[in-house]
Structure 1
Amino acid sequence: MPPWPPSSRTTGPRTTPQSRRRRTEAGVSELTTNPDRDHLTEMLQLLDGPQPRLHHLERYYRGTSPKLAYLSAEAKRNLAKFEVLSANLCRVAVLALQERLRVSGFTGNNAAWPLWLQSDFDQLSATVHRDALLYGQTYVLVWLDKRGRARATVESPKDVAIQRDPVTREIVSAIKRVQTRTSQQIWIYGPEEIQHWTSDSANSTAYTLQSRTPNPLGVTPIVAIGLDDDDSVISDLLPVQDAATKMATDLMAASEAAGRPQRFASGIEAEESPVLDKDGNDTGETEAVNPLPENSNRTWLAANAQARFGQLSGDRLEGFEAGMRVIMAAAMTVTSLPPSYFGLLQDSVTSADALRAAESALVARAEAKQRAFGTGWETVMRLLIAIDQGIDPYDVSVKVNWSPADTRSEAQLADASVKLYAAGLLSREATLRRLGLTDDEIEDELGRIKRDLVDARDLVLGRYMAGQTDH
């Protein structure tokens, strides 16, 4: 692989004074060519196209969607200033899968796991998985840090877009945009070079090509995590979320009415009150007003002996609970979440076997996501190893290992692992990996086992030399 140019030892190509050119009267750098500008426009369209959908999904995940669905126009006007109660099922659906996606190590190259830790993916990989689940796909940039070391960074699909070859399906170009209050920074990543574009203001569309940096990798350093045709895991849940929000809002509005039942009085004549203008002067007109104080806990009195007072019966709220159960059942259908995720509205699971049976569909979805995300993570590690060792990425072979996605009894898992090891079907390292230990934990544990064996041999030898044993 060709050597890395000095200007590339950053998370993106560094702009140098030598790379800048005098601008022409048209505001376009002399370094810019029409094909480059056309490609920039095309990549910006790829980036801007899905932005409304991404922001729409994010608002549902954050629980801040202002939409009140399944309401009449009059009800929407009456509830315009009402604080909406949102039972955020979308976040639950995403996090339920995210917590089951845990990378435990890599096989095929010993340098993989240290590079994984060097990029802080033991903590940041959860963010990558969350974005991939929420948006359908997310991205990782593999480049050099300021010290010239191989490093991968998490990139949001709101800032990055890719273009694939229609035949090979390889990423042939990618764009990353960083917006500040005063400018825009854009990088176009390709297999051969990386272009850095800037604009003079945050809202300007007049971009100037500032620099070109050779790409020694020979492949685009942006990696997609997730499949191109994967949709968000909450896409089918959005209408169910709207129904749950509407039901919860109706419940709170009804509870307000039930908490303060309506009272009535009959046999009492309305009083007439003068109508005043905006300056407080009598206009000569009158209007009928309620002689009894409204919204008050004071006692009502009436001079008419025939007057009657009463109170309307409060609303019953059992219907809302039944409706919410139907909505939760629909949510379980589209998300594969077991009843235990929905609290007291559903029957509780009383045994470990019943819990595993209830989670079987969720575990299957998590394992499918492991397969979908695994290809991207293996590509990330190939690029990191290629940069770290100065070799061709296609010469690197590495395979990702995942922790089990299902809920297992620790006693049952330990018993099965010990039996497999005793039967000679698994090595000690494979047994530890089956128990869910990471590569670092396995290496430390094997080292401790070796030290214990050495200490045991030293103890036997010491006893023999001291004449404490005949062996």
Structure 2
Amino acid sequence: MNTTTIKTLSEKLDTTVPKLRELDAYWSGQQPAAFLSNESREALGDRLRRVSVNFPRLAVTALAERLDLTGFRTGGVDAEPDADLWNVWRRCGMEEASAQAHVDALAYGRSFVIVWADSAGAPVVTVESPLQVAVTRDPASREVTAALKRWIDGSTARAVLYERDAITVLVHPGTIVDAAAMPSTGWTATETIPNPLGVVPVVPVVNRGRLLDVDGVSEMADILDLTDALNKINLDMLVTSEFYARPRRWATGLEVVEDEDGNPVKPFSAALDDVWQSEAADTKFGQFDAARLDGYADAAALITQQVGALTGLPPHYLGLHGDQPASADAIRSAEASLVARAYALHRTFGTAWASVARLMLAVRDGVDPRTLDVEPMWANPETRTPAQAADAAAKLVGVGVPLSVVLADTLGMSPEQVERVRSARRGDALDAAAVDLGKLAAS
């Protein structure tokens, strides 16, 4: 057991978890109001404790919903979709779990996937949170050299250390009641399992920004301060609305009456059905102009536009400019930046999912994962009507593109759906040729 590696990875988790918790608060809209003044708090009382316009979550989900894995090819880009591998993928529950991995990778900057074998030797795949998993990398190749998953089971701290040659199950003898107080030393190995794969079976799914961002960057990072500013504008608007909900009136020519302590006594009540009256001939009554909220709306629109510029979210996602785009071309134009980001993530995340698929094949077939060639297949992230997609597919088939490629790449069909269409076409062709399969089999 490499105690130095365990200590390094534990300390890395201790360092990164607080920042991830902050991102988690923004994701759930539970971040503290950054600009709420004491006067505003007093004016609001307990009627409004938090207002959160959750654009950070929108920035993540708008991208995540366009990242839909539909299959894998093995043996090169010209190969047919591997239906057997896709069946294994589905049995491992990865259709839903991969979407969760995308959300965490976009929100936190990274998520992790662990591949191992069950008691029968079949592949088991789990998606893990960066709140519980950390990895170390080779500084030259950036290959994962070790990984640690750490969690609390009741009041017991448990961990698993993944290395190229072994998997070590760990437990800490102390009693742990707070995840923030997880130990970095003092772990005891309870079991060591040889690792026949030759590589660490933990794959980071990283939302990488630049070359040295090996642990990824959050899609929410650029708009956290803007979100606080927008929340502040909305809070101010609500405070103003509450403070000026009733008209503010004034009166002159009245004698100021004081109580026993010398404090002025209000001459009139604030009840809606009360009539203000005075016997003094020179008394005058009036009303201040009502507060306008236009300035708040203009400031909120300005900040929202900046959020859209940084995230690539189209105006109709952010509620700007009122009406929805009037045509499919207008929608595609508005979503061009978002779609480009989705295509970039296909390449970034596709590398990780290819590694996961290679590990699954290595576990199933007992081969070296480094010798396998796997390519993930993605659904088209562009917004298209069924008629547009069908028209594009028909034109591609018309110029000679193989049907299976069109079904998978253009229409986003899974390997099972592609095979079902191809089987149906073969059946239709046989029917059209009046082929009697019974006679053909007998001959």
TM bucket, shorter chain = 0.7 to 0.9
2:234 matched residue in structure 1: 248
**Aligned amino acid, residue 95 of structure 2:** D
The answer as to whether partners of 1:190 and 1:219 remain within 8 angstroms in 2 is yes
Structure 1 counterpart of 2:302, from 326, 331, 339:
326
* Residue segments in structure 1 that go unaligned for 5+ positions in a row: 1-32, 275-284, 463-471
Structure 2 counterpart of 1:429, from 404, 408, 411:
404
Structure 2 counterpart of 1:162, from 135, 143, 146:
135
Distance change in 2, residues 1:48/1:461 (3 Å): closer
- Within 5 Å, which residues of 2 pair with 1:176-325? 176-199=149-172, 200-202=174-176, 203=181, 205=183, 206-226=186-206, 227=208, 228=214, 230-274=216-260, 285=261, 287-294=263-270, 296-325=272-301
- Within 5 Å, which residues of 2 pair with 1:1-400? 36-69=2-35, 82-108=48-74, 109-145=82-118, 147-199=120-172, 200-202=174-176, 203=181, 205=183, 206-226=186-206, 227=208, 228=214, 230-274=216-260, 285=261, 287-294=263-270, 296-346=272-322, 348-400=324-376
| 1:233 shift after superposition | 1.0
RMSD, aligned α-carbons: 2.4
How far apart are the structure 1 equivalents of 2:247 and 2:329?
48
How far apart are the structure 1 equivalents of 2:205 and 2:14?
19
Task: Give the TM-score of the pair, scaled to structure 1.
Answer: 0.82
The answer as to whether partners of 2:252 and 2:284 remain within 8 angstroms in 1 is yes
Distance change in 2, residues 1:90/1:42 (3 Å): same
Q: How many residues align?
A: 416
Distance change in 2, residues 1:292/1:406 (3 Å): same
Distance change in 2, residues 1:461/1:146 (3 Å): closer
What is the aligned-residue identity percentage?
Answer: 35
The answer as to whether partners of 1:181 and 1:201 remain within 8 angstroms in 2 is no
Q: Point out the structure with max Rg over C-alpha.
A: 1
Distance change in 2, residues 1:229/1:163 (3 Å): closer
Task: Give the TM-score of the pair, scaled to structure 2.
Answer: 0.87
How far apart are the structure 2 equivalents of 1:111 and 1:155?
25
1:467 matched residue in structure 2: none
Distance change in 2, residues 1:346/1:334 (3 Å): farther
How far apart are the structure 1 equivalents of 2:341 and 2:110?
16
The answer as to whether partners of 1:257 and 1:315 remain within 8 angstroms in 2 is no
How far does the alpha carbon of each residue in 1:131-173 deviate from its partner, in whole angstroms, 9 at most, with x for none? Answer: 1111111100111235542111110011100001112221110
| 1:209 shift after superposition | 2.1
| 1:60 shift after superposition | 0.9
| 1:207 shift after superposition | 2.5
1:469 matched residue in structure 2: none
**Aligned amino acid, residue 154 of structure 2:** R
* Residue segments in structure 2 that go unaligned for 5+ positions in a row: 75-81, 209-213, 439-443
Distance change in 2, residues 1:376/1:292 (3 Å): same
